[in-house]
């Protein structure tokens, strides 16, 4: 075996675990779900292939409303995560000292040390009628009786922003860290104020990190299940809850598979539109962030 063949074999062996991961855990399950979504029940253990499950979705307004509501709230969570996460990422990348950057990153990682379930129950302890915040408001005299802050859209948004914040901060920090400080100094030397430097220099440079962070946060938020259900209760109306209901409650796996693909198609369309509006491409965004 010559050196070229040895390098090719080493490359194949190196990428084999990744290829198996993609094939066994992503491609094959999606193919199976796609076939399942095209099956229609016509009798006991009798099925036909068609688009009946997708047609049922199109003819039911409550499914459309739930999907659009999930998409709009996911966009709101993404925008809030960007507004909150950008200053944090800028401080870590450009203002904090080298020694403190690791500590700040560690603080951002702390919420990931526990599961989504524990984090959701932590917010329940804070926001419920007998929770810490309600008790503190009564103690200082701002309210005269317990206040229920759970089971509404605000609680769901707060919980989701807290859950996905790190996935916005990391790509922003990695992008801003590669920015030369001389670019910012040049902006000020040429007469620009803080807002002008931010708008004309910092944001355009950080755009790949902004786009990649928004994509990750939006996809994670739209596909979230535990946080909307636990913090929103019966009023959550999250599309993943509809998918769960089809699979588990109604035992209609065919409709559940179709709804899952519809959610994937909807979120992919939103991401595509976002890339078009921002003038970014997926390859350049991944490469620079």
Distance CA 167, CA 220 (A): 9
Fold of the 61-288 domain: MetI-like fold (1.10.3720)
Whole-angstrom CA distances from 29 to 36, 99, 262 are 10, 44, 16
Question: What pLDDT score does 83 carry?
Answer: 96
Which residues lie below 8 Å from residue 111, measured CB to CB, with a gap of 6+?
Answer: 119, 162, 163, 165, 166
As beta bridge partners, residue 47 has 41
Question: Of 66-70, 96-100, 132-136, where does the model show the most confidence?
Answer: 66-70
pLDDT digits (tens, 9 = 90+) for 187-197: 888 888 888 88
Question: What pLDDT score does 287 carry?
Answer: 54
Give 114's pLDDT tier (boundaries 50, 70, 90).
Answer: confident
pLDDT mean over 212-228: 93
Domain edges within the chain = 1-27, 61-288
Which residues lie below 8 Å from residue 171, measured CB to CB, with a gap of 6+?
Answer: 209, 212, 213, 216, 289
Question: What pLDDT score does 1 carry?
Answer: 60
Higher pLDDT, 110 or 286: 110
Predicted TM-score (pTM) above 0.85: yes
pLDDT digits (tens, 9 = 90+) for 38-73: 998 776 777 788 898 999 999 999 999 999 999 999
Name the one residue in this structure whose structure tokens are 């193919």.
31
Count CB atoms within 10 A of the CB of residue 42.
Answer: 11
């Amino acid at each position: 075996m010559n050196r070229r063949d040895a390098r090719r074999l080493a490359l194949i062996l190196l990428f084999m675990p990744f290829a198996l991961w993609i094939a066994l855990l992503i491609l094959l399950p999606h193919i199976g779900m796609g076939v399942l979504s095209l099956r229609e029940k016509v009798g006991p253990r009798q099925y036909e292939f068609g688009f009946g499950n997708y047609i049922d979705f199109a003819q039911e307004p409550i499914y459309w409303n739930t999907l659009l509501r999930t998409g709009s709230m996911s966009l709101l969570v993404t925008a809030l995560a960007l507004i909150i996460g950008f200053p944090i990422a800028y401080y870590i990348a450009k203002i904090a000292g080298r020694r403190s950057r690791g500590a700040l990153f560690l603080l951002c990682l702390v919420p990931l040390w526990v599961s989504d379930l524990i984090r959701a129950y932590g917010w329940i302890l804070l926001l419920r009628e007998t929770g810490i915040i309600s008790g503190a408001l009564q103690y200082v005299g701002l309210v005269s009786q317990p206040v229920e802050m759970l089971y509404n859209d605000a609680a769901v948004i707060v919980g989701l922003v807290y859950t996905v914040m790190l996935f916005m901060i990391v790509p922003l920090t990695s992008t801003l860290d590669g920015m030369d400080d001389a670019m910012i100094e040049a902006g000020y030397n040429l007469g620009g104020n803080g807002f002008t430097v931010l708008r004309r220099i910092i944001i355009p440079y950080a755009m790949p990190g902004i786009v990649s962070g928004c994509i990750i946060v939006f996809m994670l938020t739209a596909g979230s299940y535990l946080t909307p259900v636990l913090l929103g209760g019966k009023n959550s109306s999250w599309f993943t809850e509809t998918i769960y209901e089809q699979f588990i409650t109604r035992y209609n796996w065919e409709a559940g598979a179709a709804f899952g693909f519809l959610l994937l198609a909807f979120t992919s369309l939103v991401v595509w539109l976002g890339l078009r509006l921002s003038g970014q491409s997926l390859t350049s965004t991944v490469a620079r962030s």
